Each structure stands twice: as C-alpha cells, then as structure tokens.
Amino acid sequence: MPGAIYAEGLVKTFGDVRALDGVDFDVPEGTVLGLLGPNGAGKTTAVRVLTTLLRADSGRAEVAGLDVATQPNEVRRAIGLSGQFAAVDDYLTGRENLQMVGQLYQLPAREAKARAGDLLERFNLADAGDRTARTYSGGMRRRLDLAASLVVSPPVMFMDEPTTGLDPHNRQALWELIKELVAGGTTLLLTTQYLEEADHLADTIAVVDHGQVIARGTSDELKTRSGGDVIELVVHDRERIPEAQDILRRLGEGEPGLVAHTRRLTVPATGGAKLLAEVIRELDGRAIEIDDIGLRRPTLDDVFISLTGHSAEFDELNGAGNGNGGRDGGRDDGREKPPRGPDPGRPDPGSPGPGRTGEGPVRDDGREGGAA
C-alpha cells in the first residue's frame, strides 16, 4: 500500500532541462522525508508537482491517497505548503494574516484568534503582530509565512527550504513545532540544504541530483555507506591545496572533497590513526602548513560531497538555500523596511499559499519555475 506521499517515475522538463528524471518517493504516514540536493537538483520542482502547482510530463503521484493529476482540488484540501517565498498579505497585520488562514480552514473565530496569538509568540512576532506585514523585514515575513503554514495540522505537509532566512533561535523554534506536528500524525516532506536540519528532523533522507534520487536511507545508513573514518584538514596557504590533495588522493581512499572558501579537505580513511600519522608526515615533508587536522566519523556533508561532488555549505553561501540568491530571505533582525511592490515569487490565486489550499486553476505553462 502506498505511503502518504507516493511518486513513481516522475518526469518534468523545462525546454532542454530535465528537472525531474524518473523520481520515486514512498513516504509512510506520520514520518519525515528530508529531500537533500544541490541548487538546481530538482527538489522544488518535485514539491510543485506533488502539491499540484505543476503537472508532471509523465509518471504518477499520490498524496494522502489522492492522485495529484486527476484529483488536484482534493489534494489541496489535504495538504499544507510553505514555499521558498513568503506569501503573506501585505495589507493585513501579522495577526490578521494568521486568523484569516484559520477562518479559511473553518476554525471557530475564538480558536483561530488563540492559535494566531500562540504562533506569534512562538515565532517571536508578538510585538509586531498588530503591524501590517508590509512593514516587516524579510526574515519577519518568512517567519509569518511559516506560522501561517502551521495554523492547522493537515494530514500532509510540504516545507520547501523552511528555515532559510531564519536566525538560529527561530530555526530551533520551528524544529520544535515540526516535531509536534509529526507527533500528531502529520506526514512531512522537507527540502533543505542545512544538513544539520535533515539529520535532526528526517526519518529518511533522499539525495537528489540532476533530477534523480541518487541515494536514500536513514542518516546513519547514508553515513555508513560513505565509508568509515574521515581525515579532515585545513590548509593554511590556498596555493598549497593542490599538493595536499595529491597526498590525500594517494594515501586516502577516494577523491578528496574540497570546500574551497574554508580551504578544508576531506578524504575517507579506513586506516585510522595510522593513516593519519602517515598523512601528517607527508605534509610535514613537503612543508605544507596546516591550520587543523584530525580524524572523525563521517557527517551528512561527507555523504553530500561523495554523492554530488561538492559541499552543501558552498550552495548555502551562494544563495542556493532559497533558490533566488537570498533575495527573499532578508534580514531577520526585526527592523522595519519600506513597503515594497508585488512579490514576483508569490503564488498564483488558486495555488496553495502558506498553509492554505486554493481551488482555482493551476497554471501549466512551465512558468512556475525551472529546475529548482
């Protein structure tokens, strides 16, 4: 029997770009699937197909037992969605935005008001709750959008890069709310490039690259699959990195991973401390200065590097976390900003907004986005 989120052979192309290339999912009810992948891997496209915002070219998908292609309106009533772009009403206050979502879900007025107040507190927006959303900073708008997606507890929830633009305190608060949601029986598909987030929240992780699921399993399973211990070192002089790579390539087991902006190199090393000592001797013999070196267990970042060829940290620093160069994440310092014009990233009328499920027509001309 298919899980709460099921996909088989999903294909979606945009011109010459194959955004989804035979993607399969099967997410059991009441669990969390973490979707990991570099920018442009197809994560957001998969979410858009599963939430009826895009039609797949081929393949089949069901959400909450409903076919996303033939029963889109029913699917929208069964899901919640928090996308990469804050989709709030600029002319309502934060409190009014949340109460409106509750009323759309037919919550009693008293319950909608209480839920709005609770979420404003939990997302550190209580002091700004009676200001219009157009005065909010980018980070505040993001928090309000996430709060709106949690006004009710839908059977199935989709969160696309939910913590992009949040400071550590608010990120932790969202994690706790997600745990409560799942404990209540909600099934969650979470896309993220914060590896700690996937490690912390996901029951199962699927790594997506070039539109394909290239690995899946629990966090521990993926780490074990990437090998045993890892030698990690930081080269002092950037110019000496190629020489250090040559040493690791010769003595280690596999191609060394490189995070260029931190000058950090990693390589699998089942030889343990003995191999580490040999690497240190070689580096010393060539007078390559090292800021730090050690032996550790593999992390999800090692898995990411081994599967995609680069670190997820690199994508985050280049704005990949929100798929728009960091444009919508904004600062999260609570400072006001001037009113802005229409947000090009806001969903169309009829498409699921933050925790809302519209029932209007779905655009199917490919303009919803590319291989995000």
Of the spans 4-18, 131-145, 270-284, 329-343, which averages the highest pLDDT?
4-18
Residue 227 has a pLDDT of: 64
pLDDT in tens, 80-114: 898 877 788 999 999 999 999 999 888 999 999 99
Higher-confidence residue of 167 and 12: namely: 12
Based on the fold, state whether residues 237 and 101 are members of the same structural domain. Answer: no
> Does residue 342 register a pLDDT over 90?
no
Q: Are 49 and 56 in contact (CB under 8 A)?
A: yes
Residue 356 has a pLDDT of: 44
Based on the fold, state whether residues 187 and 250 are members of the same structural domain. Answer: no
- Could you give the CA distance from residue 340 to residue 90 in angstroms, rounded to a whole number? 9
120 pLDDT band, cuts 50/70/90, is: very high
Based on the fold, state whether residues 125 and 76 are members of the same structural domain. Answer: yes
Domain membership of residue 250 as a residue range: 227-297
Residue 199 lies in a domain: yes
The answer, as to whether pTM is greater than 0.85, is: no
- In the chain, the number of structural domains is 2
> Does residue 240 register a pLDDT over 60?
yes
Based on the fold, state whether residues 92 and 68 are members of the same structural domain. Answer: yes
Mean pLDDT check: name the lowest of 129-138, 208-217, 221-230, 347-356.
347-356
Over residues 215-235, the mean pLDDT reads 84
Based on the fold, state whether residues 62 and 121 are members of the same structural domain. Answer: yes
Residue 332 lies in a domain: no
Could you tell me the CATH number of the domain that includes residue 99? 3.40.50.300
Based on the fold, state whether residues 161 and 278 are members of the same structural domain. Answer: no
Residue 340 lies in a domain: no
Residue 144 lies in a domain: yes
Based on the fold, state whether residues 61 and 41 are members of the same structural domain. Answer: yes
Which residue, of 175, 194, 221, is where some domain finishes? 221
Based on the fold, state whether residues 201 and 262 are members of the same structural domain. Answer: no
Which residue, of 270, 297, 324, is where some domain finishes? 297
Based on the fold, state whether residues 122 and 252 are members of the same structural domain. Answer: no
Residue 217 has a pLDDT of: 92
Could you tell me the CATH number of the domain that includes residue 279? 3.30.70.980
Based on the fold, state whether residues 36 and 57 are members of the same structural domain. Answer: yes
Residue 343 lies in a domain: no
Q: Mean pLDDT in the chain?
A: 82
> Does residue 48 register a pLDDT over 80?
yes
Residue 325 lies in a domain: no
Which residue, of 198, 221, 244, is where some domain finishes? 221
Residue 58 has a pLDDT of: 97
Residue 142 has a pLDDT of: 86
